[in-house]
Chains A and B, each alone.
Chain A
Amino acid sequence: MSEEKKLICGRCGVPLVMRQVRFSYMNRSFGHEVPTCPKCGKPYISRALAEGKMAEVEIMLEDK
């Protein structure tokens, strides 16, 4: 993925790699591949993901 190539972990200085990450919210858990630092394990959540699919999932689980 092009995003993976561009992103470097600010703390560890190593390129991020795509990894399956678990997201939990309101008694549900979802797996999604996001760029992650192979050294410290911190995932990078893009704005597009946060405002797109993640927000949509939140709305569906939050009722109104």
Chain B
Amino acid sequence: MEVIRETRAVCPVCLRNLPARLVRQADGRIELDRTCPAHGRFRAVVWRGKLDFAQWSAGSAPLAPDAGLRCPERCGLCAEHETESCCVLLEVTRRCDLHCRFCFASGGEAGADEPPKEKLLAEIRDIAARCGGVLLQLSGGEPTLRDDLPELVRAAKEAGCGYVQLNTNGLRLAREPAYAQRLAAAGLDIVFLQFDGTRNAIYEQLRGAPLLREKLEAVRVCAENRIGVTLVPTVVRGVNDGDLGALVALAASLAPGVRGVHFQPVSYFGRCPGPATEKARYTLDELLFDLHTQAGLPLEAFLPSRCDHPLCGFHAAFLIGAHGALQPLTTAVPPTGRSSARENRAYVARRWMRAAPEEKPATGGEDFDSFLYRVRHESLTLSAMAFQDAGNLNVERLHRCSLHVYDGGVIKPFCAKYLTPMP
């Protein structure tokens, strides 16, 4: 056993801020280890030793000894926070037409009041004023249950939000193409489409219904309206961790309508089916390794987050070749270095939005025009975000979070806002 980092974490029972350590076990696993005076010792695996931890996390620095002592119970971005807002999430409803097994927002619970449009418009203006050019994610609940969603999208663009993204299960887009058309006309840039896999059995387990056909229809409708689609699977061991290669192949076949896949290893907050066991935890290095083996993609194509903490996610861009073969675009990039929220936002917008239509260059070779055409229309971005829950929350990571949530006038890191005690 070797201590590799001092940090801070929380008690998964009472959420009290505690000193913690990252500890490497003899088998290469790395655990977050801390002891609550009231509830005892807790450990959570955060890395399984499939990749070199030190190399992957080289772009990070330990917390100062006096930092992070109040995180996250008094959270709202404070002077200690290291990263500005790349994306700000706004919940526009608590209602939902699904009742998923896992839901960070506990959407669809009874008794939730619908926020009035005027309140949301004022919040959107406040976000735009405080975080100029921000990527605004309209989330929920299921935001498409609001008939006035196109008005919110339009207001966000008019207020100065750089990009507007819709976090959705896609069902209404599939069933009511005219609604998608209204969203596109209002200026919606990106649909973050809940899309867990290529088989109905996966949706039945995670979402309670066989939804594949409707998901594919939602992709078609968005493509028709030139709204860029990012497929967003929640990856759960034993449910869809064996489907990653098939999902990447499907995504490539749906380009340029589909611009990327954004993997989210399951986290245990909000509504979830029970505490995370050691076996259930699906770590970032496992996801990388599974993508490498199932999709045949080189590990060096994947780069750690540069804006958020390296342990929070990765990204990789590929050109789509003949028969869907993926050729890495960015293998020569050094794995360290920081990028600002502004740079990160420009990157995700470039990678996730649909490009304007243009004629394919006749040359078709390795020249500037052909390359740029391929990047804009024949490419796919694979990325991931590993959210933190009360079991594995590492304050060092939280300090670098650029994905924020607008919560009644306070802007909070996503994993602080949705933190809930372990069930």
A positions within 8 Å CB-CB of B:
23, 26-32, 53-54, 56-57, 59-64
Q: Contacts A29-B366, A31-B367 given: A63-B372 contact, CB under 8 Å?
A: no
| Given A29-B366, A64-B343, CB of A57 within 8 Å of CB of B372 | yes
Given A27-B331, A57-B372: A64 touches B366 (CB 8 Å cut-off): no
B residues adjacent to A (C-beta < 8 A): 303, 306-307, 315, 317, 329-333, 339, 343-344, 346-347, 350, 365-369, 371-372, 375
Work out how many contacts link A and B, with CB atoms closer than 8 A.
50
A54 to B366, CA, bound (A): 13
B300 to chain A, nearest CB (A): 11
Are the C-beta atoms of A56 and B372 separated by less than 8 Å?
A: yes
Query: In the complex, what distance in Å separates the CA atom of A56 from the CA atom of B344?
Result: 16
4 additional A-B pairs beyond A56-B372, A64-B307, beta carbons within 8 Å, are: A28-B366, A29-B366, A61-B332, A63-B306
Contact of A31 with B365 in the complex, beta carbons under 8 Å: yes
In the bound complex, residues from chain B placing their C-beta under 8 Å from that of A23 are: 368
Q: Would you list the 10 A-B pairs with minimal beta carbon distance, nearest first?
A: A64-B339, A26-B332, A53-B368, A63-B333, A27-B332, A64-B347, A63-B330, A31-B367, A60-B375, A64-B343
Given contacts A26-B332, A27-B331, contact A64 B368 (CB under 8 A): no
In the bound complex, what is the Cα–Cα distance between A23 and B365 (angstroms)? Answer: 13
Please, could you name 22 A-B residue pairs with CB atoms under 8 Å apart, sorted by A? A23-B368, A26-B333, A27-B331, A29-B366, A30-B366, A30-B368, A31-B365, A31-B366, A32-B367, A53-B372, A56-B372, A57-B371, A59-B350, A60-B375, A61-B330, A62-B330, A62-B333, A63-B315, A64-B306, A64-B307, A64-B346, A64-B347
Contact B368–A54 (Cβ < 8 Å): yes
> How far does the Cβ of A19 sit from chain B's closest Cβ, in whole Å?
13
Given A63-B303, A63-B347, A64-B347, the answer on whether A53 and B329 have CB atoms closer than 8 Å is no
Using CB atoms, name the residue of chain B closest to A27. B332
Kindly state the separation between the CA atoms of A33 and B331 in the bound complex, as whole angstroms: 27
Whole-angstrom distance from the CB of A61 to the nearest CB of chain B? 7
Q: Which residues of B contact A29 (CB under 8 A)?
A: 366
* Cα distance A53–B361 in the bound complex, in angstroms: 14
Would you give the shortest CB distance from B321 to chain A, in whole angstroms? 14
Give bound CA distance, A60 to B333, whole Å. Answer: 11
What's the nearest-Cβ distance from chain B to residue A28, in Å? 7
